[in-house]
Structure 1
């Protein structure tokens, strides 16, 4: 593999790792030699069968602030370092404004935004020892908005603001902070849409197809690797030309 993509000896935390984009990210980083702490509510070890010690399952909910500290503790106690943090965990709870349950709004903001802020806060000191890369998973909805996604858009836009602030503060410490804003990605979440809704979404994509979790994972690999050693404070769209 190209030397700039080799993650051998690096340690990563990936949240929301049990399926879809998160699972694809874990595999991509582990394929390049990283040891990945795969965090999710439940982690089926069969999902990462064949990766051995390169994938360390960590089960818990990031709605509990203590779990963020536990993930960093695992990285420190087992490896004494943390090089890559991917804040990917998230939930979508569509709802009409004025009629969305308060519990849904709180869960979206807590899991999509607050947990990423708290985990980054917990990870900074360990990451600053040797430098590293924080990658926040925003969304095209956080950039453009969408009907029925008031809380989700707020959470993903908040991640963009957090990314920009952290990038400025952490650059002197050798920690890069960037965000990815996926567009319409074929996952279990989008599989639930009707054929008509999927066709409507695809009609707005310049490249004429939904993205795949691997498309997003490749962008994460770039930001995790030395190929992006001079890249920080950027919001990278992985959307096939949706925003053009």
Structure 2
């Protein structure tokens, strides 16, 4: 059993809560951060009851430019933060021709700026070894209609992961990311239609992913087993990045010369 202090954003549900449960099962103290105060308080109380660990709840809007202060608030309550999991993220559907600056900026602030500000604040605590795990997305490498702001934010988050890994290594901070494929999450904040879920869940393994599978990857990246890993993007997507099984097999029946003619 470990006894780290783990701060997780987006901890009221979905991947964030799955990560909180995975670390709590290891004996870690958990500080959950989310904008949904009542759901967060209930989730943290349940973890404390199930795993017998200390938990704290911090209700916060990660779009705030002062969100880095969350690290010091968490440290004041449970000691220095050893692991930061940036799982909070928003992905509203806004076609580009209907998007305004406020829509665009809020996604960038929550999905990119907040993880960077929190990571920098973590590194400023002291020079104790610590780990950061950002939750990215397959959207970082593939655009889709209505999600230009979200896809851009995740591509930026992956580069920010690498930049933070380079600049903060001497401070003893490892920074990595997990990029999930489509994960079954019943989210009132980021709902998706059944048609969308069916379309994006096509991958070589032939199924959607579960939050606990992303949590397992985050748990490994934050562990001593990954002590030589930083700046990495771990794609946990059922093989979707590797390729597709949805296309028919192609057997060429002509030579290259014949095709050219």
- TM-score, with normalisation over the residues of structure 2? 0.84
Which of the pair has more CA radius of gyration? 2
Q: CA deviation at 1:197?
A: 2.7
Confirm or deny that 1:213 pairs with 2:207.
no
Q: Structure 1 residues 193 and 64, CA, compared in 2 at 3 Å: closer, same or farther?
A: closer
What is the alpha-carbon distance in structure 2 between the residues aligned to residue 76 and residue 195 of structure 1?
Answer: 41
* Cα pair 1:29 1:221 within 8 Å, conserved: yes
Could you tell me which residue of structure 1 aligns to residue 106 of structure 2? 107
Could you tell me which residue of structure 1 aligns to residue 175 of structure 2? 177
What is the alpha-carbon distance in structure 1 between the residues aligned to residue 62 and residue 117 of structure 2?
Answer: 9
Q: CA deviation at 1:136?
A: 1.0
Could you tell me which residue of structure 2 aligns to residue 193 of structure 1? 192
Could you tell me which residue of structure 1 aligns to residue 80 of structure 2? 81
What is the alpha-carbon distance in structure 2 between the residues aligned to residue 104 and residue 68 of structure 1?
Answer: 22
What is the alpha-carbon distance in structure 1 between the residues aligned to residue 199 and residue 66 of structure 2?
Answer: 41
Could you tell me which residue of structure 1 aligns to residue 91 of structure 2? 92
Tell me, what secondary structure is at the counterpart of 2:131? strand
Question: Over aligned residue pairs, what C-alpha RMSD do you find?
Answer: 1.8
The answer to which structure, 1 or 2, has the higher relative contact order (CA under 8 A, 6+ apart) is 1
* Cα pair 1:132 1:175 within 8 Å, conserved: yes
Tell me, what secondary structure is at the counterpart of 2:67? helix
What is the alpha-carbon distance in structure 2 between the residues aligned to residue 231 and residue 76 of structure 1?
Answer: 25
Q: Deviations over 1:70-118 (max 9, x none)?
A: x211233234322101111110112222221332211111111111111
Could you tell me which residue of structure 1 aligns to residue 5 of structure 2? 11
Confirm or deny that 1:35 pairs with 2:29.
yes
Tell me, what secondary structure is at the counterpart of 1:13? strand
* Cα pair 1:33 1:54 within 8 Å, conserved: no
Q: CA deviation at 1:30?
A: 0.9
* Cα pair 1:108 1:151 within 8 Å, conserved: yes
- Among 221, 228, 235, the alignment partner of 1:230 is 228
- TM-score, with normalisation over the residues of structure 1? 0.89
Unpaired segments ≥5 residues, structure 2:
243-261
Tell me, what secondary structure is at the counterpart of 1:66? coil
What is the alpha-carbon distance in structure 1 between the residues aligned to residue 61 and residue 180 of structure 2?
Answer: 23
* Stretch deviating more after TM superposition (79-88 or 177-186): 79-88
Confirm or deny that 1:124 pairs with 2:123.
yes
Could you tell me which residue of structure 2 aligns to residue 154 of structure 1? 152
Could you tell me which residue of structure 2 aligns to residue 3 of structure 1? none
Tell me, what secondary structure is at the counterpart of 1:152? helix
Q: Deviations over 1:172-218 (max 9, x none)?
A: 2221110111110101249943433322222x211111111111100
* Cα pair 1:13 1:85 within 8 Å, conserved: yes
